[in-house]
Chains A and B, each alone.
Chain A
Amino acid sequence: MPELDRPATHAASVPWWNDRRVRSVLYQIAVVGGVVALAAYLISNTLANLESRNIATGFGFLGREAGFGVSESPIPYSPADSYFTVLVVGLLNTLKVSIIGIVLATIIGTLFGIARLSRNWLVARFAALYVEGLRNIPVLLQLFFWYSLITEALPGQREALNPLPGVFLSARGLKLPEPVWQTTHTLMLIAFVAAIAGTWALARWARLRRERTGQLFPTVKAGAALILGLPLLVWLLGGAPTAMDMPELKGFNFVGGLTVTPEFTALLVGLVLYTGTFIAEIVRGGILAVAHGQTEAGLALGLSRAQVLRLVVLPQALRVIIPPLTSQYLNLTKNSSLAVAIGYPDLVSVANTAINQTGQAVEGIAVIMAVYLTVSLSISTFMNWYNRRIALQVSR
């Protein structure tokens, strides 16, 4: 509230302990003093306790040898590496499951959110069953369920299910054929990135032209063709390499191929299905929030149904959808820390092992919290930027 400037004569008649400005300063000093005193008390206790238990403080342990293995790692790692390396491995595992999870949960949530609004009664019931069913069950319980289902209900490696040639499903995870990496694949990756950049430029050009001349350009189709076509073209030009590293049963274990571990699968499936229910509700709410008159106005202007959806309804629905969607993305990332309960080596899990080995709880938890804060703030910053971009603008 803006405070009214009082005339000087009034200020003089008010005793100083009733003066609002003096009071506000005193309040703030009291609160800050209280917080600082509490912090000092806790820190001094902690230091005294650490000293009496002979626990060294500081981050020096990060350079020491970790000495424990992790079940999966996107980068080469051995137990001889340092604690710092193992924490990086944990972080990469967290980011891996979070990013894949966010993409899949968005797809599933959007599909079911639209399905729940379907005019088809049966489809709408199915979507409602999924959303209302899974949303009200703790995600940790779902993780345990999926993990048990994979490790207990699936057969062992020797009797692995083989639904497709080269694909094996067993209690030890999913085995997939992996393309042998060649120069062509690197070029394909470059082509893919180039195609995305090209699509972005194309969309920008098409938008500017539409705003200038009113002419439409099939951006979606052209972009899809570019993103899919360019890598395919490179692949064909590179002689269409098809060499695959096939998984093969040797003795008791599979050799070769790509492995998707049961821990990763259970975590991904659990997080995606759980977060998907929330995203479905957000998408449904967002679409319902666009007034029906907007659709009618679009149709009256002569746009097709698809154009109305893409040019009129969706941009307005997105504005309602983005802020809660951001918090769901953050929730998924934070919930990935539940990996510790089913043994997926994410950041919390490896940090927990490190804490148990070194006893440096304060530093370990500080690392976890600092990393999650950074990740959370990055996601919110990006989504806020995106939200501002699509927000209503008076002039462009």
Chain B
Amino acid sequence: MTIETPIFTPEPEKHVLRRALSRPSFVIGLAITLAVAVMALVSLFWTPYDVTRVAVAGRIQGFSWAHPLGTDHLGRDILSMIMLGARNSIAVALVAVGIGMGIGVPLGLWAAAKGGWMDEVLMRANDVIFAFPSLLSAVMITAIFGPGAVNAIIAIGIFNVPVFARVARGGALAIWPREFILAARASGKDGLKISIEHILPNIANLLLVQATIQFALGILAEAGLSYLGLGAQPPMPSWGRMLFDAQTRIAIAPHLAIIPGMAIVLTVLGLNLLGDGLRDAIDPRQRRPR
């Protein structure tokens, strides 16, 4: 279970971004991601219809001017549900990544700075978490605390912790022996200070790439959990549950299953392209996917 950490030369953010923008895949990824984000933001204050009100009499309609993407089995507007579903997916995945970074990165930096038995203990704890198949554990966690968006976030977040801990530790270990760190040590700075002032900025790019990947995985995981009925609960729509609700009707109303599925694929695709573009821009030699 060794995750290789690319060794790279840190460089100013500006160059990275310029190089990234010259790559078509990055631009496509950015465009898709922005589109989804905008949709989610708009849903905060406006959706075409109120999805908390059902209108069963007008259920399962096809495309029309009134309902551009049709209506579902309870007569709710699918476009509105997709918009709210985008918000739900992004919120869950974003917070889950936040949890992973917030806990994992300090742990990884700490392990790299201290070394010795502390490093060993942290890495063993990581091994224990890694040893649990993640979806399985997510199902168990939501079974204990009950289904819901918050518990889905926790379940997904927990599995981001060891990922970020490893990436941060690996990145930090590669930087510690460098000259400018030695200089900082010589000037009397302690491990904590060096980690924050020198190590963190230098592994920020690396963490950003990992964050995009985990973000995409988080969206897929959220879809899986809510497909199993363990994610966000109604009336809050989620893409995974829309798929679940649609599957018995796929022969009579295939659009009910195709639209949310496409939404998931597009969003994950956008984020992965974004992540790859960033990685290539940071380190053109290291074109290594996950």
Do A and B bind?
no
